[in-house]
């Protein structure tokens, strides 16, 4: 029997309707459209404003659409892996909440926390479930409601992030398509540069932690930038080399959308032109776990069976990595 690989067989996404533009941010902090565009590549982001809606609610929209597109029901799902840093609650997992909301009665699942690399780490994890032969339908969701952990008086962070959700279905493939190789890394030394100080067991929430705004994202942007440029470019070049891929062999680079300058540096290192790079940072900003599946969703109709894709990301932790995928299907409207 041919080896089983895990292939993405369907993609979907959801972003909230409300737009937060650069000119909106000019009214909140001392910044300007020109600075944001030239330093990050971002024009606008989406924000989930409706009170009472959380990360799982964006996932419900995306996943219900995916199930319909693929022609299966929630009860066909075996495993749900939910990549997020803004789960609805500390516990239970957002995977549990999503399973309840979509009516997935036969699935088990869990949340996976790897900041901006969460979707890649989840793809690797989901692929192993499929490759084991035991599971047939593994749902991988990447979603964040970043607006809940962003300080809209801090110009260093509030210009970057947005809300959104993307999801993919992994199924077994015996044609040699799907997830071919992965290279993933963590380095906890990096936590000093990008973290949320309070709310966890180290510093449980108190009036003081709230007053000190310690429940928001802290980022030393310049330091993270330096590590991210090197980390994403190195790992992307490394996975190409290991798989004997030339830049001509790579059909698409699917990069994490943290900063257009990091994306360009990665593409340059791989020898890949802008025409082969999926970029949605201009209209969605950095949606953390959402960036990569949202790119796949927007580009799905351009992808062809057999296309070589390199997905790559860098994020808090530090976490970083690349995934090599041979795309498994031609798009049908
Ligand atoms: O997705 C997770 C991983 N995260 C990342 O990969 C993010 C990596 N970092 C970055 O993308 C960039 O570092 C930022 C976009 C966060 C900042 O860009 P930068 O080019 O590194 O700016 P900087 O922090 O070096 O600041 C340059 C100047 C400073 O002024 P002075 O000291 O030169 O006078 C800042 O105070 O720009 C100032 N500045 C701003 N000015 C207008 C910082 N933020 C803003 C702002 N508007 N929003």
Residue 102's SS3 state is helix
Q: How much is the pLDDT for 174?
A: 96
Give one word for 317, left, alpha or beta, with left for phi > 0 and alpha for psi -120 to 50.
left
CA of 30 to the centre of ligand 1 (A): 13
**pTM: predicted TM-score of the whole model, two decimal places:** 0.97
Share above pLDDT 90 across residues of the chain, in percent, rounded to a whole number: 99
Strands 178-186 and 319-326: antiparallel
Domain membership flag for residue 333:
no
| Average pLDDT of span 28-57 | 98
Same domain, 88 and 224: no
Same domain, 170 and 303: no
Same domain, 118 and 224: no
What pLDDT, in 10s, does the model give residues 230-276?
999 999 999 999 999 999 999 999 999 999 999 999 999 999 999 99
Is the C-beta atom of 221 inside 6 A of ligand 1? yes
Query: Residue 256 CA: which ligand 1 atom is closest?
Result: 1
Tokens linked to 201: 């067991």
Domain range for 132 is 5-176
CB 55 within 8 A of CB 84: yes
Domain membership flag for residue 255:
yes
Domain membership flag for residue 331:
no
Same domain, 35 and 23: yes
Of 122, 144, 176, the domain-final residue: 176
Domain membership flag for residue 332:
no
Q: How much is the pLDDT for 1?
A: 61
Instruction: Label residue 333 by pLDDT band (50, 70, 90).
Output: confident
Is the C-beta atom of 159 inside 6 A of ligand 1? yes
Same domain, 218 and 160: no
Of 150, 176, 202, the domain-final residue: 176
How many structural domains does the chain have? 2
Same domain, 192 and 263: yes
CATH of the domain at 136: 3.40.47.10
Share above pLDDT 70 across residues of the chain, in percent, rounded to a whole number: 100
| Average pLDDT of span 91-103 | 98
What pLDDT, in 10s, does the model give residues 117-157?
999 999 999 999 999 999 999 999 999 999 999 999 999 99
DSSP line for 244-266: T--TTT--EEEE--S-HHHHHHH
Same domain, 10 and 117: yes
CA of 31 to the centre of ligand 1 (A): 11
Give me the chain's average pLDDT, please.
97
How far apart (Å, rounded) are the C-alpha atoms in residues 258 and 89? 25
Of 159, 176, 193, the domain-final residue: 176
Instruction: Label residue 3 by pLDDT band (50, 70, 90).
Output: very high
Tokens linked to 202: 């180290």
Same domain, 234 and 271: yes
CA of 14 to the centre of ligand 1 (A): 28
**Structure letter (DSSP) for residue 24:** H
What pLDDT, in 10s, does the model give residues 262-314?
999 999 999 999 999 999 999 999 999 999 999 999 999 999 999 999 999 99
């Amino acid at each position: 029997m041919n080896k089983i690989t895990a292939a993405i067989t369907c993609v979907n996404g959801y972003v909230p309707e409300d737009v937060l533009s650069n000119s909106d941010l000019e009214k909140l902090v001392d910044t300007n459209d020109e600075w944001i565009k030239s330093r990050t590549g971002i024009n606008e982001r989406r924000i989930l404003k409706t009170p009472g809606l959380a990360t799982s609610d964006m996932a419900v929209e995306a996943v219900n659409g995916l199930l319909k597109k693929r022609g299966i029901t929630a009860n066909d799902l075996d495993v749900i892996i939910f990549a997020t840093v803004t789960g609805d609650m500390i516990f239970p997992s957002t995977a549990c909440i999503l399973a309840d909301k979509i009516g997935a009665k036969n699935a088990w699942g869990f949340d996976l926390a790897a900041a901006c690399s969460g979707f890649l780490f989840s793809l690797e994890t989901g692929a192993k479930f499929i490759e084991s032969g035991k599971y047939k339908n593994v749902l991988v969701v990447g979603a964040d409601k970043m607006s809940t952990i962003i300080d809209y008086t801090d110009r260093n962070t509030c210009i970057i992030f947005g809300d959104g959700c993307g999801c993919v279905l992994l199924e077994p493939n015996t044609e040699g398509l799907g997830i071919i190789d992965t290279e993933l890394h963590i380095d906890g030394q990096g936590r000093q540069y990008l973290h949320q100080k309070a709310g966890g067991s180290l510093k449980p929430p108190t009036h003081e932690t709230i007053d000190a705004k310690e429940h928001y994202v802290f980022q030393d942007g310049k330091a993270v930038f330096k590590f991210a440029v090197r980390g994403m470019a190195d790992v992307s070049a490394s996975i190409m080399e290991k798989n004997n891929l030339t830049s001509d062999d790579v059909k698409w680079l699917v990069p994490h959308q943290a900063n257009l300058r990091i994306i360009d540096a990665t593409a340059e290192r791989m020898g890949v032109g802008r025409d082969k790079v999926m970029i949605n940072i201009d209209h969605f900003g950095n949606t953390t776990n959402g960036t990569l599946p949202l790119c796949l969703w927007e580009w799905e109709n351009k992808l062809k069976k057999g296309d070589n894709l390199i997905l790559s990301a860098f994020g808090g932790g530090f976490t970083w990595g690349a995934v090599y995928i041979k795309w498994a299907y031609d798009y049908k409207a």
